[in-house]
Amino acid sequence: MNLRNGDFLEIGTMMPIVWAVLASLAVVAGGCGVYSTSSGRVDESLRLVNVPYLENATAEPSIEIELTEAIITALQDDNTLRVVGPDAAHTELAGRVVGYKLREAFTSATGGNMQVDEYQVQISVELTMRRLDGGENVFTRKRLNGSGNFILGDGATSELTARREAAAEIVREVLGLIVEDW
């Protein structure tokens, strides 16, 4: 291809248009994937919610406390719903932890022996969000799952870190069930 000096001027005059198109695409694509802490669309009768401690149907001690506190914190951070005591609430988000598994995620062979390099924590909960005025439940016995991994050896992480990752997945699902943010 043989370009003359004037050909570059034609290309150069199109650059503002190219930049405008790219900027428009970035705004449109960015708007769909960004999480916002602003209030989404939610029924006003759901805004005041009580979150009692979850029941624990597993052998894992204190997991119900961890998950309940993670849910409450996420709801408060999101700022769409207001977590209140049972006397002021219009709704209740309650349930139980029904599963806690620790399983091998990745293994490697070292000197002819199999070695576990990474484990995965899997947590399952069943939640119900009910209206306290006797109306229809928002959702009933909805099963939500979360998982998180932790690494052994160099760059090690802990089971607690994996539990927090699993809890964060569950919390994102809870918020998605309650808040229609876009």
For 21-77, the pLDDT digits (tens) are: 444 444 444 444 434 444 456 677 788 999 999 999 999 999 999 999 999 998 888
- 68 and 30 in a single domain? The answer is no
Q: Read off the amino acid at residue 147.
A: S
Cα of 142 vs its chain's centroid, Å: 16
- Segments forming the whole domain that contains residue 80: 42-178
- 70 and 100 in a single domain? The answer is yes
> Do the strands 82-83 and 91-110 form a parallel or antiparallel pair, or are they unpaired?
unpaired
Condensed to tens digits (0 to 9), the pLDDT of residues 74-101 reads 888 888 889 999 999 999 999 999 999 9
- 108 and 170 in a single domain? The answer is yes
Nearest CA to 176 among 150, 153, 146, 148? 146
Q: Yes or no: say if 117 and 107 are a contact pair by the CB < 8 Å rule.
A: yes
Query: Which pLDDT does position 31 carry in this prediction?
Result: 43
Q: Which pair of tokens denotes residue 113?
A: 């022996």
Condensed to tens digits (0 to 9), the pLDDT of residues 144-180 reads 999 999 988 777 788 888 998 999 999 899 888 887 5
Find the largest Cα–Cα distance for the chain: 80
Domain CATH code at residue 96: 3.40.50.10610
Nearest CA to 99 among 64, 150, 138, 148? 64
pTM score: 0.70
